[in-house]
Structure 1
């Protein structure tokens, strides 16, 4: 779909929208040999990433002695070399720079970028022997490399990311300046030390973030680009509109679903807005939404797409790396909040449609009875279950019977399913995107649309199968999914050409279909690489931020600042972190956004929260800052997604951003809830409990949405909205009210520590409150709450030692010795001065108290909800839920 609605509703491409599209792919498209060269470089990057992710290098080495095996460090360097070179060639340096040719200085900058990166590969053996003693060549390569990286960041990401990184670099060199407050000063670093730290080792630019980008993120971005090029994006949009377009406010509801589906593989909220919004926003305006509200719905949908597993804007892999949990676990934790948030957004759209008294679009005539629809649905559901069973148990049996044949069996099942689905698709017309600004549109038939592209789901199934069932690494899973997608891209058109008869309206010759398949493959490989450029340079410059934090301990400074401002209030501390995450995330792509906010703000919640008694799983903390960083995409004044949507809708970008944030208040609520109620992240819950939490969470979020929108079954009075939000809060966090009645923990004195440690059940950590003199301020007493994992059963002292705590019991209680390096609490307890006059002690041991079930507070909440329903039904004028939903 290339049509874009302008302010007057005409079709055409607007410069504003083109500029937002350029954010992800670059604004320069030279013709002729230069354009072909850039395309070849981009294609080569994608081919290189597929090569190093496969077993081909090892096969070539074993069979033919060709040593083309690259280790992880070399892959990172080559990855960044490609990204920086393409940034110089694809992105103009200034607005006035030529867009249809590459000036000489950009060729020079691209060559310099490659030289500075490959310097680390060519001289890797010499560098390894120097160990922190850089030569003049090292310093020149490092300095020029950082400057060239800065120019690449400026081109592809703009000033915000460059300013943030620049502040950190200045802090490294001038952190000892006298004009800085004492609380933020540090000793500073020499030029040589900083350059070595940033460029010559794996603590800076070529650190963890770039490693995740080169090993995992690229493959997922490539997979998404191939999926989009094959036509899956159009398929998802048409499917959503066919299913939901006839409902009240249907185009807006379809926009939410289409963006959710696009979010499965999209790595950018801006790209999501541009691809789906060009179709959905004009249609929303046609049905009665204002320009700002139509854009805001698309913005809220697209930003939420970055929170949707399995990709989560390519940040899911970084979350797994930074928190130390497996990637499948990250998907599990992120699933429920994303589903709840999207369901609530559909409900918000429904409430807006009710307030505006909107109707849906014209539904195509159907001669299928309700019973036939039900039978068809049940048949499709059973067929899907049967196919899943065949795949699961069939592959499982093959794996047990023929251990070496699982791969062959998987390929055979994939080919069989693909051939069946491609035959079904070939008998129907291909999907063509309608012009959203046309005077009339007839919705497609959902069943027909679904059958035209079911084979697009096969690579997604392969991806999830490899990750969740086979437990392959994310990189290897994405590799096989990408290979499956490449096979589909190359063969879908030729196979349809062979199957279709001469009378079929969409039939093309076999030669043309083969050519079309290779053109799609070429475009998909290039599109994946060009989409990866901003992510590649972002993860590189984010390494500077991470490196600064590790070199200077900057997160401790931020933590002390937040602790001072919060005044000891846990909620105020979380609000401050949320606001700072919003500010830090403005103008940054998803991946860089997460790296920045997690590097600075996640340690603040962990350290300051622990001092105030808040101990939560690390993944909950990272999800908290990630959510608020993503919300920066629709938060004025930067809000790039809002500006992209307004370029399509013709609305005011600031108003669009404000309205989008108003819709996203429900998303902003979720992080606070799962910090205090980790069941929403499916942590330590059974399957039955998970289903119960999901149902309650959906109901609570819909009530919260109704409260904030001022409409439930009728227009709400202010006090009714307050009651609805109170009921929602109670359903989300009934433990809050229980804590007011009964304390959650029984505080036992530290003198009983050893005995309690011996009695603690295996697998349940022991909660300890530790007090002692502050290391930085010896006259001040610090406190900290920790969870000690005691391991296997045994005597108390042994179990405490296994947890990393050396305890000396005396008449006054339990005294702690300084933990040994490498033990779990070595870093955590560095805040205490173990050699002062006052000893560090375990003040209390907190044992969970025997209390009422927290769910008992659902009863008064439901009674209050019943009261609101009874009052509003008396004023209700139209069906609020099922009448033309």
Structure 2
């Protein structure tokens, strides 16, 4: 039996952002002050107005790089409690390179396009510093992708005809990537320096109020008693945590350290218990309103209001969690697992009266977004309300010291996203300079023979590969830049195309061979990582099918749909998820053979696909095979009685 790892060990192993230095003494105060000032700058600009784009983003990056180099050592073998002189030098340079833009801003504006020798040195230094920061916090995969794009910028004249371009001079590329708002300081970093920072700060305060524990307790009260209760608790609590969280692995560790032992105690196999938590936690990245911070980028890239992205994400997210919930239910039936006795569970009414006020900020932020407030203003008010709401009861009250601590936690929490966004800017900068985005889209369409379904399949594979080991925000930027344009060229609505690549980039976290969330769940459960990944992929069947459906029929994204059609499509899709889940588990009323599982799968897909004809055929298939299951169960019961007599 494999030994279960501690929550801290899991985070450090599978989430690079958690493997930071923990200082004591004067250095801890320096870090705290720097992080708090960073948060205060962000709050100041949110209240009194954002600075000019390049200035806002440069200051944001300067704070971020300085903190990254102070907190994350260059080598694994270096101390996690003492600062290495090399990292101190890098931290100073990390602040100086963006500060160069701030100090010479007016001069740089006046001579836009002209790169002096000092500009070149500082720009090249800035690019290297961003890539090295990404290696430390995000990991090698994104750095390799960014470097491949840089090499492509220089190698254009030597590439095959389809990918060839005239080439880019190094000075020209440095100027484009560092001294314009189309490279490092492009849209991703712009969104990080405004919306994303405030939402992460909001999440830091919610965590401090104890909202995460409240979600788990509420989930226990609602579902803990049901068949296979602890697994359903994991789904419900992770779905709730996903509304504000931005990390699959952090979700797994946060809720899984409680739910996975409960599942194992009830009788679930370790591989299944780890898979349930990994799948449920990864779905948090698909759950509005935060969606791993990618929702803000999607709104900017697609050119629609943020609330439209949130609305489009609701039904697919519900279907995803419905699929997991149903799969868990039938697995519990198959294994004969019951829930936790009600007397051992918290009471919903008592929980709601004692800590229900902690959820007020979430309700308010959704209301403000629907009412037309900008995400920035909505997050700002939600931060204030999170602090105020905590004061309503002594047991949840945040102290002045904790308010200050929240500022530090928010600044630390944004570092991974910040660095990923800056690195993504390098990729986007090369794309805009060379036109590689359209070339790759054309190549993908040609590979698919101009047909939509093959193009979707190749886009899915591309998104899964690019999403391996890359954080949510970063993998969305990469996949939306490289893969989404192909679908748009084939007539897919732009929002559906972006949601498609976003989904497959996310579920790379639970898709073997690189399934970080599943491996984290396996670590807590003491299970085999690859088997846990396979179980997670089976549970997440909705995430592999629903994106195809909403591209072919955008009703599920609320695009061009009426309230009636949305409701009908949602209900039939949930029925379809039941068929798909039964096919994956291999059990309905009794064990299903391969033919029955194939029929459940076929009927499920037909019902998930919106349309009266497909729904009717799918329903007939599901009812027929369910009838076969009922008759088979009766025969088995009669045979058992006969044998007993």
Normalized against structure 2, the TM-score is what? Answer: 0.95
* Structure 2 residue 176 is matched with structure 1 residue 227: no
RMSD of the alignment, in Å? 1.9
Contact (CA 8 Å) 1:25, 1:533: kept in 2 or not?
no
Give the Cα separation in 1 of the matches to 2:114 and 2:131.
25
Residue 584 of structure 1 pairs with residue 462 of structure 2 = no
Residue of structure 2 aligned with 1:729, choices 577, 582, 605: 605
> Which of 575, 597, 606 is the equivalent residue of 2:457?
575
Counterpart residue number, 1:481: 382
| Residue of structure 2 in register with 1:597 after alignment | 479
Query: Counterpart of 2:521?
Result: 645
CA distance in 2, matches of 1:621, 1:856: 25
Partner of residue 116, structure 1 = 97
Q: Secondary structure at the match of 1:101?
A: coil
Quick check: 1:528 aligned with 2:410?
Answer: yes
Q: Choose from 686, 689, 710 the match for 2:586.
A: 710
Report which of the two has the higher share of strand.
1
What residue in structure 2 maps to residue 255 of structure 1? 234
669-678 or 718-727, larger mean C-alpha shift: 718-727
CA–CA separation in structure 2 for the residues paired with 1:457 and 1:20: 32
Name structure 2 gaps, 5 residues minimum: 636-645
For 2:621, the equivalent position in structure 1 comes to 864
SS at match of 1:346: helix
Partners of 2:19 and 2:399 lie apart in 1 by 24
**Are the equivalent residues in 1 in contact too, given 2:11–2:249 (CA < 8 A)?**
no
Alignment match of 1:623 (pick from 487, 499, 503): 499
Hey, what's the Cα distance between the residues in 1 that align with 2:530 and 2:359?
37
Aligned ranges for residues 315-464 of structure 1 at < 5 Å?
315-364=294-343, 442-464=344-366
Q: Distance in 2 between matches of 1:559 and 1:857?
A: 31
Contact 1:24 1:530 in 2 (8 A): no
Closer, same or farther: CA 7–125 of 1 in aligned 2, 3 Å? same
Distance 1:484 1:280 in 2: 29
User: Which residue matches 2:369?
Assistant: 467
Q: Which residue of 1 aligns with 2:612?
A: 855
- Partner SS for 2:596: helix
Aligned to 1:49: 42
Report 1 or 2 for greater relative contact order, CA contacts < 8 Å, sequence distance ≥ 6: 2
Partner of 1:27: 20
Contact 2:609 2:615 in 1 (8 A): no
1:13 to 6, 18, 23: 6
Aligned match of 1:672 in 528, 538, 548?
548
For 1:98 and 1:20, locate their aligned partners in 2 and report how far apart those are by CA, in whole Å.
16
The question of whether the paired residues in 1 share the 8 Å contact of 2:223 and 2:233 is answered with yes
* Counterpart Cα distance in 1 of 2:76 and 2:311: 43
Verify the 8 A CA contact 1:247 1:359 in the aligned structure 2. Answer: yes
Is the 1:307–1:627 contact (alpha carbons within 8 Å) kept by the matching residues of 2? yes
Aligned to 2:639: none
State the Cα deviation string for residues 407-451 of structure 1 (Å, max 9, x = none): xxxxxxxxxxxxxxxxxxxxxxxxxxxxxxxxxxx2212222222
| Deviations 1:640-687 (CA, angstroms, capped at 9, x unpaired) | 212221221111222212221121122110110001111111111222
Q: 1:367-402: CA deviations, max 9, x gaps?
A: xxxxxxxxxxxxxxxxxxxxxxxxxxxxxxxxxxxx
How many residue pairs align between the two structures?
635
- Can you list the C-alpha shifts for 1:56-85, whole angstroms capped at 9, x where unaligned? x6xxxxxxxxxxx73332111111111111
Distance 1:859-1:191 versus aligned 2 partners, 3 A rule: closer
1:242 Cα offset (Å): 1.7
Give the corresponding residue for 1:171: 152
Tell me the SS of whatever aligns to 1:648: helix
Cα separation, 2, equivalents of 1:518 and 1:636: 45
Q: Deviations over 1:181-219 (max 9, x none)?
A: 232221111111100100001010000111111110111
Matched-pair contact (CA < 8 Å) for 2:69–2:133: yes
> Kindly tell me: are residues 14 and 579 of structure 1, through their superposed partners in 2, closer, same or farther at Cα, counting changes over 3 Å?
same
Give, in whole Å, the separation in 2 of the partners of 1:136 and 1:8: 57
| C-alpha distance in 1 between matches for 2:540 and 2:160 | 37
Change (3 A) 1:17 1:722: same
Taking a change above 3 Å as real, the CA distance of residues 860 and 167 of structure 1, as seen in their structure-2 partners, is closer
> Secondary structure, in 3 states, of the residue corresponding to 2:605?
helix
Instruction: Tell me the distance in 2 between the aligned counterparts of 1:336 and 1:526.
Output: 35
- Equivalent residue in structure 2 for 1:661, among 525, 531, 537: 537
User: TM-score, normalised to structure 1's length?
Assistant: 0.70
What does residue 81 of structure 1 align with? 62
1:744-763 equivalences under 5 Å are: none
- The alpha-carbon deviation at position 731 of structure 1 amounts to 2.0
Contact 1:24/1:271 (8 A) holds in 2: no
Q: 1:543 to 1:867 in 2, by over 3 A?
A: same
In structure 2, which of residues 271, 293, 299 is the aligned counterpart of residue 292 of structure 1? 271
Alpha-carbon distance change, 14 to 329 in structure 1, aligned in 2, over 3 angstroms:
closer
Cα distance, 1:866 vs structure 2: 2.3
Which protein is richer in helix relative to its size? 2
Structure having the higher Rg: 1
Structure 2 distance, partners of 1:53, 1:339, is 32
- Change beyond 3 A, Cα 1:300–1:857: closer
- 2:173 corresponds in structure 1 to 194
**1:21/1:274 contact within 8 Å kept:** no
Find the aligned partners of 2:193 and 2:13 in 1 and give their Cα distance: 25
